[in-house]
Every structure is written in structure tokens, then in C-alpha cells.
Structure 1
Amino acid sequence: MTRALVVGGTRFVGRHTVEEFLDAGYEVTIFNRGNSENPFADDDRVERVEGDRTVEGEVKRLSMEVDPDVVIDCVAYHPREVRVATEAFADADAYVYVSSGAAYGANRIPKREDETPLHDCTPEQAVDDSWDSYGPRKAEGDRAVYEAAERGVNAMSVRPPVIYGPHDYTERFDYWIDRVENFDRVVVPGDGTNLWHLVYVGDVARALRTVAEAGEPGETYNVGDGHAPTLGEWVDRIAEACDTAVERVFAGPRELAAADLELADFPLYREYPHLLSTTKLRSLGWGSTDHGTALAATVADHRDSERTGRENGPDREAEEGVLSILDTV
């Protein structure tokens, strides 16, 4: 039986990736520090190896102990980690790095893997941990994949935009579900037409397996929902999934400023559209989940969890201030 090694494997993307490979008949090993609860602790198809992927010696030890056929690297946040992993697992049938749409360094609509420039990455950014360096670090990780492929390693990468779905610890999408579930009127920044391409987590997991099985060495594959709703449309779709109705109240910079808020204070707001072309991935036979199915699973998980996402956006008191201002206009 083919063995997949998932670096990470217990929280969000990694958890769904483990399930994807199990469903496809693989045996799976997960490698992590053990800081999160292991949802596969009672599954004898999943072996867990404890270790720190940021320590080069532990990664090399892992490669000798596990000898996987496929490696899915969900938690490589610095380019050095990608270089160490591609060297340690050079003999694997496939190494797939989870990159990010943030790696793109130019505004294009849509962003294409082989055309849109990536961020540069300085030596200082390569070892930084701040959000400002996240895109450059992911881009440099992609370049490490290209370099490994030139050495004969079957290394590839997958670039998702913002990911939503069950077990999403970032709670960015939960913010909007919480608003829709608890209030009749929801403040939407701007005119609601801002666009940030999202992707359902199950589709990311399936993309990782698709690329591992059918991708080409040195190639990168964008992944994203088949339809990219605007933020205003997302609110309506979430309301439908929640079997409720809400009034979307659009607020521009002036109305928000009166309540000491800005457009960017709201999660999933992006001034310039962020849209990824997924044609290349689709050519491998991958397809996206329809929004009805994806949102039903996402809302059900939200309701079963204690997540609210409220820390990701304005508090309700500030929103009420915006609503009061708009009601007097």
C-alpha cells in the first residue's frame, strides 16, 4: 500500500489532507510537534511521529524512519524548510509544498502560475515571522521547489488563496457566519463588490493528492473555488446556507470613519481583486465542490464549534454605530 507523509496533519488543511489520502486507500504518517489534539489517534491507518520540522536533523531522521512514497508539506513557512525537506525526501515519488496565492507579487486578474510575477524575498524576509513577509517567504519556497526539480526531485507546489471550511482555526470565514446567524442587518464594507477568491478546504486536499499523483516536477498549480463570489454575494450565500435572511448594509469609507473603522478592518475585504486561474489544475482532472455543499459543511461545523471569528473584525457596538449613521442619511 502507498504511504503518504503529511507534515502537519491535525489542524485544518493537514487534517483534511489526511482524510483525503485515507479515502484514496493510502496509509498515512503525520509528523508534528503534538501541540494540537490528534483527531486520528484511534485510527490504526494513521501513524504519528513527533518532531519539529524546523530542526533539520529531525526531518532527516524522519525521512529514514518513514521512507514515504508521497510527502505533503502543509506547514513550511520558511524557504529553508522547503530546501531541507526536498533534500531529505529527494527519493520520494512526489513532494508537494503548500504555497499560497500571497506569493504573487503583482496585481493581475486572474493570476496565472506561469505568467504573474512572484514576490522577491530578501535574506531578512526569508527568516522573518511577520505577516508582511509571508508572501515573499511563500514565493521563495516555490523557488526552492523549482530548484529541487532541476536536481531531479519530483517536487511541486499548490497555491491556494484564503481557505474556508470545517476546522478553520483562523476564523476569518466564521466572522461572517456569526454575523449572519445573530443579526438581521449585516454591515458589508464598501459596496460589496470587492473580490477575494476563496477555496474550500476539501478541494485543497483533493488538489494536493491530484498534484502528487499527476503533477509535473517543478510546476505550481493554483487552486480556488469554481465561482468567486464578491463579499456581498458571500453574505447572501451564507444566509441561504443558514436558512435565514439578512439585510446587507453597505458602508463606505466616510460612514466607517465616523465609527472609527476602515474598510480593511473587515475580514475578507481586499481593495484590489484577487482571482487565481485554476485552468492548469483542472487539466489534471481536478474539479471544485459546489458552494451549496461546501457551505452546508462549513456552517454545520461552525455551529458545532465554539468559534465566532469576532476578534477578526469590528465589534458589534462599532457596527451599530455605522448602522445609526446610515439610518440618518
Structure 2
Amino acid sequence: MIGGSRYFGRQLIEELRDTGAAVTVINRGSAPAPQGVTHLRADRDDEDALRAVLAGRCFDAVVDQVCYSPLQAAIAARAFTGRTRRYVLTSTVEVYAELGRPGGAPLPEQAVDPSAWPVDLTLPWTDPQFRADHYAEGKRQAEALLTREAPFDVVAVRTAHVLGGADFTGRLAHYIERIEHGLPVVVHAAPQPASFIHAPEIARFLVWTVTQDFTGAVNAASHGTLDARRICEAIGRVAGREPTLVAGTEEPGSPASPASPLSPVSPFSFDRSYAMDTGRAARLGFRFSSVTDWLPLVVKEARG
């Protein structure tokens, strides 16, 4: 596995280890790997260093948790040539970011075709801020480069918004803190539905994907959708507080403006549908849970 030092990546490592697999983790060593796995230290952006730690090693499958650009994908394609038969890229629902629309239907994998998506290696992908600002495009182009150029089988797992576990993003915590303190939560006037998945479930799905033989993009999400209002209602029920919602218009992270004093809107509040169709995963044999099965537990855990 490349990455895996935090969040559901560590759960994935432990799940794979507990199946009896011989697990090797490659990262910069910012955190110790779980017991019982081999830990190789290298910066994935340094092709020479990556090749050096891979010398003499081969793998049945590789799971790449931290590929954010086509440049990183190109390095991986070269470095793992002849070293693996299967490559699982952890991708994201964000690849559909510009395609959703209010009231739109859940999007299937073919809405973004990696075999046809343009790749531009001349963009400043080595700039961390550029990568962060172009996260969705970086993932789309990483999928595309691996699909077209890697000499091994490639799967792109398009992961829904992840909730639960050791979440470092602070997005759910934003809601909990405001509702528990009686503060207003800023959402769109008509927040649209989005797909979500429980952290342990995406770890299980990735483990399952490693053992299969299908290729191409596959959506990974729990059944059912959530919007910002439903998230607030779920937290309110657990906290015993009535949420106060107010309307905003700006995207999360945008500065407030005199014309929109209530902005920015909260995380997970969208003005377009962010729902994914999981029919392909079902046809391949994986059964996802429902968001209603785990959302109350996630809220309780997040409240501590």
C-alpha cells in the first residue's frame, strides 16, 4: 500500500493484515505502521527513492491511497511495472463535481471515462497548493493516465464522502460543535443530496476489490443519500438540541461578503447533487450498508 498512515487507510492495512495477507506499506514514515506489516520509507514523488525501496519486491496488488496527480500516477506506472498485476487507486466522488445538478440522478461511472479524459503533465502538479486547489482534476487525470499507460490492471475506486473513524477533516465536527452550542448552521437554501460511506465500510470495500479481477472505475457508497439538513437532524436527535439552520450562498471555504453575510455554507452542503450510482459494485457482488445503519453511531462517536 502507498500511504495509509491515517484515517481509513490504517483500517485498510489492519483489515488486509488480519486476512493473513503479507502487507507492505510505503510512505514517508510520518507515523509508524501497524504491527505485523512491512514498512518501507520513501517519498512517492521521488522516483529514484521509490524504485530503490521496491528493488527485488513484487506484489499481488497495490492500493494507492495518496495519488493526487497524473505526475504521481506516471511515476507509479513506471515504478511498479513488472512488480504487480493489479493496481487499486483510491479515487473520489469529486471526479463528478462539475456534473451534478439540482435534482439530478445519481451518477454512474461512465459519466467520467478515464480512457478518454485529457491528461496535461505540464501543469504545476508539483506545487502542493495547485494540487489542493485542483483536487478533483488531479484525480481524474491520475485515473486517466493509469488507465491508458499502466502495464497492469487498474481499478479506480471512486469513494463517497467518508464519515466515522479517526476523521481528521473536521467537517462533521463543524456541525456537532455548532448544534451543541446553539449556533446557527449555514446551509444552501435547498441543499442537495450526496453519497456517503462509513470509514470501516470503505476499508472493507477496498480489501474486497483487491481480491477481485474486474478493472475500471467503480463507485463506492452506502445506500441512501444525505443532505446538510438531514445531517443536522441526525445530530440534533443525538444531542437533544433543535438545530438552527440559516441560508447561505457561498461554497465552503469562500470568504464572507457584504452581499452574503451568512456565507460560507457548511461542509457537505451542496447546491448540486453529489450522489453516485452503485449499481456496478452490486452487480460485481458487493453489498453496501445503508447510511441509516451507521449515521447515529458515527454522530455518537464524534461527540466523544
Q: Identity over aligned residues, as a percent? A: 22
Residue equivalent to 1:312: none
Q: TM-score, normalised by structure 1?
A: 0.77
Q: Are 1:208 and 2:206 an aligned pair?
A: yes
**SS at 1:265's partner residue?**
coil
Residue equivalent to 1:146: 147
Shift in alpha-carbon separation, 1:220–1:106, aligned structure 2, 3 A:
same
**SS at 2:239's partner residue?**
coil
Give runs of aligned pairs for residues 243-262 of structure 1, distance below 5 A.
Answer: 243-253=238-248, 260-262=261-263
1:296-317 superposed Cα distances (whole Å, 9 cap, x missing partner): 553455345xxxxxxxxxxxxx
Shift in alpha-carbon separation, 1:186–1:173, aligned structure 2, 3 A:
same
Distance 2:188 2:136 in 1: 25
**SS at 1:17's partner residue?**
helix
Residue equivalent to 2:219: 222
Q: Are 1:171 and 2:170 an aligned pair?
A: yes
Shift in alpha-carbon separation, 1:125–1:223, aligned structure 2, 3 A:
farther
1:112 alignment partner AA: P
Is the contact between residue 199 and residue 225 of structure 1 (CA under 8 Å) also seen in structure 2? Answer: yes
Residue 211 of structure 1 deviates from its aligned partner by 1.9
Distance 1:225 1:121 in 2: 30
**SS at 2:23's partner residue?**
strand
1:226 alignment partner AA: H
Q: Are 1:8 and 2:6 an aligned pair?
A: no
Distance 2:300 2:57 in 1: 36
5+ residue gaps, structure 1, are 1-5, 305-329
5+ residue gaps, structure 2, are 250-255
1:165-208 superposed Cα distances (whole Å, 9 cap, x missing partner): 2111111122123334x234652413464323222222222222
Give runs of aligned pairs for residues 98-117 of structure 1, distance below 5 A.
Answer: 98-104=90-96, 106-108=98-100, 109-116=105-112
Residue equivalent to 1:97: 89
Runs of 4+ in structure 1 off by over 6 angstroms are 256-259
Give runs of aligned pairs for residues 29-178 of structure 1, distance below 5 A.
Answer: 29-35=24-30, 37-38=31-32, 40=34, 43=35, 45-90=36-81, 91-104=83-96, 106-108=98-100, 109-116=105-112, 120-122=118-120, 123-124=122-123, 126-129=125-128, 130=130, 131-148=132-149, 151=151, 153-178=152-177
Q: Which moved more, 1:279-288 or 1:100-109?
A: 100-109
Distance 2:230 2:68 in 1: 32
Distance 1:197 1:179 in 2: 23
The structure with the largest helix share of the pair is 1
**SS at 1:228's partner residue?**
coil
Is the contact between residue 186 and residue 248 of structure 2 (CA under 8 Å) also seen in structure 1? Answer: no
Distance 2:300 2:26 in 1: 28
Residue equivalent to 2:197: 199
1:81 alignment partner AA: Q
Distance 2:72 2:191 in 1: 38
Q: TM-score, normalised by structure 2?
A: 0.83
Distance 2:242 2:268 in 1: 19
